[in-house]
Amino acid sequence: MSASAPVVLVTGASRRIGAAIARRLHADGYAVALHCNRSRDAADALAAGLDAQRPGSICVLQGDLADVTVVPKLIEGTVAQFGRLDALVNNAAAFAPTAFDATGADAFDALMATNARAPFLLAQAAAPHLRAARGAIVNIGDLYAERPRADLVAYAASKAALLGLTRGLAVALAPEVRVNAVSPGAILWPEDGADPAQQVRILESTPLARLGSADEIADAVAWLLRGGFVTGEVLRLDGGRSL
């Protein structure tokens, strides 16, 4: 692995959208630090496949982003492995559909801890390295941050905080570091299943009349990391559903 290759940390990178982002950035020449929490086996399998393509280009870092002591260790571990950090993708998220009346303080705080506080603390820890590299951050938001559902009030609030954080960081870290976000619409159905009637309603309210793909999200992340005259923006990849 070339010492001059750019380095990216992707949180929640073991499966689904995070894995697609990691594969795309690795194909683009990045060395990739794969973060996982509970999905270590999936992360190790992904890492083995990518490392076989380009030895020395992958490492796996495990930890719960709700634990504030874990967050700086992810940045330290990435830099210790690769000697630099050029990009941060805050993809990891907690998702818990909960009725408004049934959402307690602990559940609310848990969503905020992973979806908003952890990206803030990661950006803080990464900032010196990203400034030195004139790098970039991409946060993965959600359509529901701006178009919430009744059973996703707390989750939507946490993702709205992440979009606010995106704009704030774009100002705080300028001009050296660009910070943007991608807000997906319907990309993958939940793994524990989704109400078929709700699936129909979602597709009927999407002008492009289909699900997006994880690879389409990865393409957008790769574009935002490459550079250009854009910072503090939220790119909606929702098939027109926000219309």
pLDDT for 180-204, tens place per residue?
999 999 888 777 666 788 888 888 8
Point out the catalytic residue in the list 19, 155, 220, 239: 155
Residue 1 located in a structural domain: no
**Is 125 contained in some domain?**
yes
Establish if 224 belongs to a structural domain.
yes
Question: What's the mean pLDDT when you consider all of the chain?
Answer: 94
Residue 66 resides in a domain: yes
For position 227, what pLDDT does the model report? 86
Note the pTM of the prediction, 2 decimals.
0.95
3-state secondary structure of 189: coil
Residue 178's nearest CA partner among 108, 112, 210, 131 is 131
pLDDT of residue 161: 98
Q: Which residue has the higher pLDDT, 235 or 194?
A: 235
Tokens of 140: 């993965």
Interval 1-60: pLDDT, tens: 566 899 999 999 999 999 999 999 999 999 999 999 999 999 999 999 999 999 999 999
Residue 2 lies in a domain: no
Per-residue pLDDT at 1: 59
Evaluate whether residue 145 is within a structural domain.
yes
Dihedrals phi, psi of 170, to nearest 5 degrees: -60, -35
Check residue 114 and give its pLDDT.
Answer: 98
Residue 243 has pLDDT above 90, yes or no: no
162-176 per-position pLDDT tens digit? 999 999 999 999 999
User: Any catalytic annotation for residue 155?
Assistant: yes
Please report, for the domain that includes residue 108, its CATH number. Answer: 3.40.50.720
Question: What mean pLDDT do residues 117-127 have?
Answer: 98
Does the pLDDT value for residue 228 go beyond 70? yes
pLDDT at 194: 67
Residue 98, both tokens: 């909960």
Residue 36 lies in a domain: yes
92 CB-near residues (< 8 Å, 6+ apart): 11, 12, 18, 35, 37, 65, 114, 118
Decide if 242 is inside a domain.
no
Count of CA atoms in the C-beta half-sphere (13 A) of 123: 28
Query: Is the model's pLDDT at 235 over the cut of 70?
Result: yes
Q: For residue 218, give its domain range.
A: 7-237
The model's confidence at residue 73, banded by pLDDT at 50, 70 and 90, is very high
The share of the chain scoring above pLDDT 90, in percent, equals: 83
Domains held by the chain: number: 1
